[in-house]
């Protein structure tokens, strides 16, 4: 019966960021719309799993087919695939949203073109992922995934098949990743070693950046990474700051962030990302905020606060931005990816 029902389907499902909320629901802006403030971001929705893939615009339903689907649902004892503890993600050139999930030990692939959710569980051969954390897109459709527990970076092809292992003999606990297509180098935050390690495409270690400490260029449990205009942006997590390091060493590192309890301060910064207008995004995990800075590291705007409602977070981790300037936040302990659209025009007034 399940095979027959599959044959009846003529249209593939489509990805909806907010399948639960009604299309007419009030839009949520950041900062809130008012006479004094211009909104710079709007909440788009969230990714949670298979529930995000729905049928196209509803058509007249056949009662017999609907009854058979209901019976088939009773026979299907498997739980739907849903995110558990998402860590970070990226969006590839085909619009697929790839998300690492440390609790499931897998990479979730939200495939918009084919209308389905794929789950990549195998690092190489029959060996499963243990703690997939950082993820980055590489050359020729390849995908880099940092497995923190297995102390390596796994290279997958575009279909999730393991191709290569990087850093097994060099890494202590890899977390964040960043790929520089201009130099064909992979930057890896080795959290336990308090360093950034740089590998070429063959997996050869070509450079090590930093050591444990508090001076500029030194780290204390660095986690996530991003690249922008010749600079490596590092979440220097236990130093409660962000560092921007010039890749060619032409300038001293730029360090910003202040340890504190006020909104805009850091306690446990994690995910970092940059949009098309050079705004810098930082996840302040401990205080459940997405903090937005301009290219000069001036604080502009917070989004978040502890909670489950739209626009709130519970111990978030990663953040990434796609080519449409959509901002994705791994809302880790809420088990979802929150999605916001940057409306452009400069965010500088948002923090006033």
Q: How far is Cα 89 from Cα 154, in angstroms, rounded to an integer?
A: 15
Q: What is the largest CA-CA distance in the chain?
A: 70
Delineate the domains of the chain, giving CATH numbers in brackets.
2-351 (2.120.10.30)
Contact indicator for 86, 133 with CB cutoff of 8 Å = no
**Environment class of residue 167 by beta-carbon count within 10 Å: exposed (0-12), middle (13-18) or buried (19+)?**
buried
Q: How far is Cα 163 from Cα 140, in angstroms, rounded to an integer?
A: 12
Q: Which residues contact 183 (CB under 8 A, 6 or more apart)?
A: 247
Q: Which of 149, 138, 140, 223 is nearest to 184 (CA)?
A: 138
- Other C-beta atoms closer than 10 Å to the C-beta of 84 total 16
Sequential pLDDT tens for the chain (352 residues) = 444 444 444 568 999 997 555 444 678 999 998 878 899 999 999 999 999 999 887 555 556 655 655 565 555 445 679 999 999 999 999 999 999 999 999 999 999 999 999 999 999 888 999 999 999 999 999 999 999 999 999 999 999 999 999 998 999 999 999 999 999 999 999 999 999 999 999 999 999 999 999 999 999 999 999 999 999 999 999 999 999 999 998 899 999 999 999 999 999 999 999 999 999 999 999 999 999 999 999 999 999 999 999 999 999 999 999 999 999 999 999 999 999 999 986 544 444 3
CA dihedral 291, 327, 147, 308 (to 10 degrees): 70
Three-state secondary structure call for residue 142: coil
Q: Which residues contact 137 (CB under 8 A, 6 or more apart)?
A: 90, 92, 93, 143, 144, 179
Strand partners, 245: 232
β 41-47/336-342 pair status: antiparallel
Between the alpha carbon of residue 336 and those of residues 11, 45, 108, 339, the distances in Å are 27, 10, 12, 10
β 152-156/162-166 pair status: antiparallel
Q: How far is Cα 177 from Cα 263, in angstroms, rounded to an integer?
A: 27
Peptide bond into 267 cis (omega under 30): no
Three-state secondary structure call for residue 50: helix
Q: How far is Cα 224 from Cα 257, in angstroms, rounded to an integer?
A: 15
């Amino acid at each position: 019966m399940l095979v027959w029902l599959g044959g009846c389907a003529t249209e593939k499902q489509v990805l909806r960021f907010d399948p639960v909320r009604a299309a007419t629901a009030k839009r949520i802006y950041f900062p809130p719309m008012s006479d004094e403030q211009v909104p710079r971001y709007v909440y788009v929705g969230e990714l949670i799993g298979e529930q995000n893939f729905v049928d196209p615009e509803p058509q007249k339903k056949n009662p017999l087919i609907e009854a058979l689907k209901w019976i088939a649902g009773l026979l299907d004892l498997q739980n739907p695939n849903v995110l558990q503890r998402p860590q970070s993600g990226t969006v590839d050139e085909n619009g697929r949203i790839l998300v690492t999930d440390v609790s499931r030990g897998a990479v979730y692939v939200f495939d918009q073109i084919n209308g389905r959710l794929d789950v990549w569980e195998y690092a190489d051969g029959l060996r499963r992922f243990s703690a997939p954390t950082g993820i980055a897109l590489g050359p020729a459709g390849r995908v880099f995934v940092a497995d923190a527990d297995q102390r390596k970076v796994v290279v997958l092809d575009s279909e999730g098949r393991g191709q290569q292992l990087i850093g097994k003999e060099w890494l202590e606990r890899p977390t964040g990743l960043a790929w520089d297509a201009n130099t064909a180098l992979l930057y890896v935050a080795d959290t336990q070693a308090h360093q950034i390690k740089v590998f070429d495409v063959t997996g050869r270690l070509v450079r090590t950046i930093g050591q444990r400490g508090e001076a500029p260029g030194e780290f204390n449990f660095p986690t996530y990474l991003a690249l922008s205009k010749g600079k490596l942006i590092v979440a220097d997590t236990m130093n409660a700051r962000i560092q921007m390091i010039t890749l060619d060493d032409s300038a001293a590192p730029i360090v910003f962030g202040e340890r504190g309890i006020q909104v805009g301060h850091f306690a446990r910064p994690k995910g970092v990302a940059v949009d098309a207008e050079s705004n810098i995004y930082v996840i302040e995990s401990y205080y459940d905020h997405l903090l937005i800075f301009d290219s000069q590291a001036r604080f502009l705007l917070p989004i978040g606060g502890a909670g489950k409602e739209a626009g709130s977070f519970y111990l978030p981790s990663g953040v990434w931005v796609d080519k449409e300037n959509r901002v994705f936040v791994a809302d880790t302990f809420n088990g979802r990816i929150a999605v916001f659209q940057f409306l452009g025009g400069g965010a500088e007034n948002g923090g006033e």
